Amino acid sequence: MKQGSSAVVVGAQWGDEGKGKIVDVLSENFSVVARYAGGHNAGHTVIINGKKFILQLVPCGVLRAGCRSIIGNGVVLDPMAFLKEVAALREAGVPVDGHLFVSNRAHVILPYHRMIELASENAPGRVKIGTTSRGIGPAYEDKMGRRGLRVADLLDLKLLKTHIDNACREKNMIAHALFNSEPLDPDKMYSEYAEASAKIAPFVCDTALLLNNALRAGESIMFEGAQGTMLDIDHGTYPFVTSSSATSGGAVIGTGVAPTSIGAVIGVTKAYCTRVGGGPFPTELLDATGDLIRARGNEYGAVTGRPRRCGWLDLPLLRYSNMINGTSWLVVTKLDVLDELDEIPVCVGYKINGIATDEIPAHASGYDKIECVYRSLPGWKTATHGVTHFDKLPKATKDYLAFVEKESGAQIGVVSNGPDRNQTIFLDEFSVALKSLTQRKGAKAH
């Protein structure tokens, strides 16, 4: 692990890899956890002593006493969703005031973003991406089109009123012309969001300054990704992707810290593969085994409840993800889901038109031509759920992990074999490297 004072936790597949739990587990070692991309479409489930928390916008570090949580400038913020989540955390006894901060440069999702997305996703002839229709894509569109509303602007009521009036005039016309949608009332919208503005104001600050000051003070920061590498807007299975930078590079853009401050990249992968929504999935299982994995892994969206598509581990994609992210360490989650299988096929390579290739197709249709090359590994047919020491895992389980480590090119540092915070195995080398990263001279660890 490189010397530094921060680490990025990134999804190595199509999201839903269990990053929420891993960020929660690792946050004990960090002073600050900062979310850098996505919106309230990212459901991170954390279970602590049997109690479930589902976080959508708020970083998982909020569940650790003494750990500050940052929503960075790269996130798109739905004010109503944020306030609802904050209220739920307060009700659960989680301290948020003085511990949770929102970037004044984060862009805001407004009702017309949801209207446009819902209408366009259901329009005749449209290729369905499988979005959550929460307005995230259109909010990023407005951001890049330089017509967005930022949190700082939300707090300026005069500017807010002008922005809503102008935006509603434009969006209502577009939505009516293209999708025959009912118009939104700008006066009602302004009233609601002006009220929300006052409630959000205490959380707002220049989070880039806060993070850089923390680094200068020797504190340790963990950057929490949303979605996964294969949903990245640039490097994923376009157009079946999210609208932001879900890779490790997004941590720099989405928070305002320098690339040189990143000490390590921790990639999170399931012991198999899942995907939600449309798009390519070379190792997808459309049979009883896929149903078994879905049932054993409880593979349903934390936010939407949608059933996830399930398949075997895809090593070509994992190698690609490790390359794009510069992955230092791998975390393998949901290992126990495979406990009942007699054998476990793993995709070790691709063939296109009968010819082996190391290249990941740039075009979504390119995946239709892929023939997966599989290697079958023996199952362990023994419960691994809750095993707390690596040495106590069955030999076949350790062989499976060793194979994944060797073939993926990144060292496995953590294994998760259950949903609870305590159902986690740390490998010794990772524990030493983590301590070196977070407890260097002057660093503050919790």
Please say if 16 is a catalytic residue.
yes
Q: What are phi and psi of 217, to 5 degrees?
A: -80, 0
Residue closest to 201 by CA, chosen among 91, 112, 54, 77: 77
Catalytic residue of the set 16, 153, 314, 336: 16
Q: Is the bond preceding 183 in cis, omega lying within 30 degrees of 0?
A: no
Residue 422: CB atoms within 10 Å: 11
Catalytic residue of the set 24, 40, 44, 107: 44
53, β-bridge pairs: 46
User: Could you tell me whether strands 76-77 and 44-48 are parallel, antiparallel, or unpaired per DSSP bridges?
Assistant: unpaired
* Contact criterion met (CB below 8 Å) for 292 and 232: no
Sign of the dihedral through C-alpha 256, 259, 263, 264: positive
Give the burial class of 213: count Cβ atoms within 10 A of its Cβ; 0-12 exposed, 13-18 middle, 19 or more buried: exposed
* Contact criterion met (CB below 8 Å) for 34 and 205: no
The DSSP secondary structure of 273-321, one letter per residue, reads EEE-SSS--TTB--SHHHHHHHHHHT-B-TTT-PBPEEE--BHHHHHHH
Catalytic site residues?
A: 16, 44
